[in-house]
Structure 1
Amino acid sequence: MDWSGDPVSSARLNQDDARLLAAADTVRGALEGSRSDRLLRLFDYLLTKTMAGETPSEQTIASEAFADENFLDTGQDANVRVYVHRLRKALDSAFAEISGPRLYIPVGEYRICLSDEDDGEVTGQPQPESGVTVRGGPRYRRMAAMVAAALVCVIAGWWWLNRSTPPLAQTQVWQAFDQSERPLVVVVGDYYLFAQLDSPGGTPDAGPQLVWDKEVPTREDLTILQMLDPAHAHSIVDYNQQFVSGGSIQALSAVRADINQLPSLRRRSTRLVAASQLTPEMLKASDIIYVGQFNGMPPLLKDPLGQASGFRIESGFEGLTDAASSKRYQSDGMVLTDERIARRDYAYLASVPGPADNRLLVIAGIGDAGLKEAAQLVGNFDQLERLAANPAKLRSGFEALYRVRTIEHVNVGATPVLDRPLKSGEIWDSSGNVAPYRPFDTKADSPAPE
């Protein structure tokens, strides 16, 4: 399908369409001057879809706008995001010295909008945000910050509604949070992305690809990787990007419903932060709820939990190993093939004493299926009452593991595997064992999963 040339053939255009096309001439001239056929093709494609009232997905853009390209074999989502990012910058440059209406692409969306500098009017239909986005210029970063602030206000307002005292607030797990006067910080596991640039001799127009590597969880680790492999250091770049899994978002929604039942929220501050933004000050002054997979857990939480837990939580996380029995618990999702359907995952709950008489609640999973089930279990009154039956666990904290039966992405049940007190006596007084950084090591043989 060819998206070059005149994107609109209708003889009649409404006023907004006419203004979009008028501004589009400016952009098209700039793109033709840059000799980037792909950017021009992407611009015409998005303009056509916008005027048709449609907002295409990344997959749709890859299959339609770049139908003759080999995107499907090279990571179509990352390629589309990179080209949209480049197109945003091209729009910024095209209107940098021109007053009046200008075109832009909203962050997280794939449509062309018209903005009047005088009255702030915007032409285009809003759509939900897609997954990972690459930041644009300063103007769009300010807009993204305003949208994020509004979203936080909406979430806080949602949590502050419905302040009756249900049975859930009377369980030992949630009562500690309900009776606290500290701020509440909900931490969601996130993952660091870096950019892989074009290899020498590659297509000049092919942009960088965003990469997640579990051996490179932070910007600092990327710097170390560049130092250890200077021959390839020029080909990897820090874009300071993080992403959150879809399972984490679903689990967060379930946990939000539980938090909404705590009457104390009417007088407490509640914050939602990414794991990469958790600070020691928050850990000291606030009650903490972590929602995410183990491999998205920040060191500030993983280190003390690793000391208190009866499980070994390895670096480059792929499963849990019980220290006493050496049994290994691994999600099917870690080793799937085309012939194998996910049937098993594991959900994990832990209540941990904090460093300053505060409380930490860990709602985690080995994979997304386990995480979503953990979010359901922490709101189950009967399960929480059973976990609180042992008084020793109330003092030292506890951990519980559940086997989750799945059919691909659908959970069909959970079975308790074990629950036990934590060894939390001195977890805030010493550092746990830190594995040496070996980004090029092959993985050592591990015990067979249960």
Structure 2
Amino acid sequence: MTDLRARITAALTRAHARTDALTDHPDTELIAQHSPLMSPLGWDLAHIGNQEDRWLVRAIGKLPGTTADSRSVPEIDGLYDAFAHPRASRPDLALLSPAQARDYVARVRARSWQVLAECDLGAADALTRNGFGFGMIAQHEQQHAETMLATHQLRAGAPLLSAPPAPSRGRPCAGEIAVPAGPFTMGAAELGITAEPWALDNERPAHTVDLAAFAIDADPVINAQYAEFIDDGGYRRPELWSARGWGHRAEAELTAPQFWRRDGDRWLRESFGRSAPIRGAEPVVHVCYFEAEAFASWAGKRLPTEAEWEKAARWDPAEGRSRRFPWGDEDPTPEHANLGQHHLGPAAVGAYPRGDSALGVRGLIGDVWEWTSSGFDPYPGFAAFPYREYSEVFFGGDFKVLRGGSFGTDEVACRGTFRNWDLPIRRQIFAGLRCARSI
């Protein structure tokens, strides 16, 4: 269990450090609501602590063998219940002050480390077995860190964040990759070399999906291609859009990706308080599902289904099996993908050759989330664990699945089976697209 405890320690330490970096700003920044789409940063901070409190301190901490002080402040649970209060209304709540939130989070973390030191990670309890509960909390914190990163992108004023630029040299776009017809294993396995002990309930169970042959772009759509779509009247041609998409385009007055603006004959993009010309070889980011759908139509293609995306990412025809990641079964490194907020934007396509899939598809992990055409639904045999509100309550709604992670996604919350979802109108998320077609 030494290696497992070390993995948990690394994941939680990384998550804690990132949360601190995203919230280590004046109190006015944590109290302000920078967009009605987002919570105040201070709410996210205390919510992260509250979830760790609930699951690590109060749930796992009460199991036999642990002696951590599980006393808490459950009277704040309702304030930080994401389902009880819409984001737009959260500033009106009697929230903890930034100082109180920081103190609360520090106390929770101290207790969590004690729980980790004492608990039996090999116990039969499903919450502790293989460290699942700790992995779940690390993923939850990193997901909120990406949400807080989006809040930073939406805020006005001088930049608060900095990072080295993403790689600007890659490889030219590589056209399409043909994916042969046939079955493959989709979803997270319980056992074996591809087992994902920290996979969340919506990724399970692994199951066989038989797909017809299709072609998928070797690279995500880049800014230069998207600018061509705009210049060809892409936002003025209703025939390229679905009826719902065209209605939303008109209502929201969409004319380009969010944060793009014209400057003479060039496009500029606002990114975390800085303005710079778009780089043509980078994946386009901050487009909604309807924009992605329209671009694919303009290109004479379509968006891939979720199953097609996963087969392109995981299927290894030489070995006849699904891999954990496009490049194989080993965890990501900085040479594989642009993950973990090491940069504040996508890299040029083809900048991570070690991340190519067995089929030759590139950039499937990191840089930008990729819209798929699939709705967010359960897999056959789905069972909610450890609570319905993580996945089950979202099934069957208006949500579309996104895959692959972004430059703002941590490796703990990104794998070949990981499923993200959002409403088709959302653009503040770090989302782009990749096209496919039937063959």
**TM-score range with shorter-chain normalisation?**
under 0.3
TM-score normalised per structure 1: 0.25
TM-score normalised per structure 2: 0.25
